[in-house]
């Protein structure tokens, strides 16, 4: 069973065992507009919670994607390099950015549940 958690920077992490699938929320992609480029981290890269993990560029702006937790990048969605618009079409499905092997699962407690994230969005 997987659980999805959210950061205040609009990244999500869908946790399956000790690996999390990371991307940006539907809200984030809608704020960016049409995504035209994505820069993904290297597989094997160690990330610290809150550190820059990727870059996404749209017709409106460029934005950093931060690691919601600490861990090692075990996979990246290289299909996004050829089809970055997938992030707009299916941000929390086929538009995922990377998979991270969690080094400190307790950091998930600092992130919002889906219900808490919806409440947070309503306050923006």
The 10s digit of each residue's pLDDT in 81-123 is: 999 999 999 999 999 999 999 999 999 999 999 999 999 999 9
CATH of the domain at 66: 2.40.50.100
pLDDT recorded at residue 2:
75
Let me know if residue 120 belongs to a domain: no
In this structure, is residue 123 part of a structural domain?
no
The 10s digit of each residue's pLDDT in 17-76 is 999 999 999 999 999 999 999 999 999 999 999 999 999 999 999 999 999 999 999 999
Q: Could you list the residue range(s) of the whole structural domain that residue 17 is in?
A: 3-107
Residue with tokens 């969605």: 77
pLDDT at 76: 98
| Domains identified in the chain, total number | 1
Taking Cα atoms as reference points, which of 30, 73, 80 lies closest to residue 53?
73
């Amino acid at each position: 069973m997987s659980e999805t958690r959210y950061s205040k920077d609009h990244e999500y992490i869908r946790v399956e065992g000790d690996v999390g699938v990371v991307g940006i929320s539907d809200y984030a992609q809608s704020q960016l507009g049409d995504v035209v480029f994505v820069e993904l981290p290297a597989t094997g890269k160690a990330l610290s919670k809150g550190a820059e993990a990727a870059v996404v560029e749209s017709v409106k702006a460029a934005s950093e994607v931060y690691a919601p937790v600490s861990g090692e990048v075990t996979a990246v969605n290289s299909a996004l390099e050829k089809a970055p618009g997938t992030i707009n079409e299916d941000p929390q499905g086929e538009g995922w950015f990377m998979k991270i092997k969690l080094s400190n699962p307790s950091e998930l407690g600092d992130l919002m549940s889906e219900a808490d994230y919806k409440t947070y969005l309503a306050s923006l």
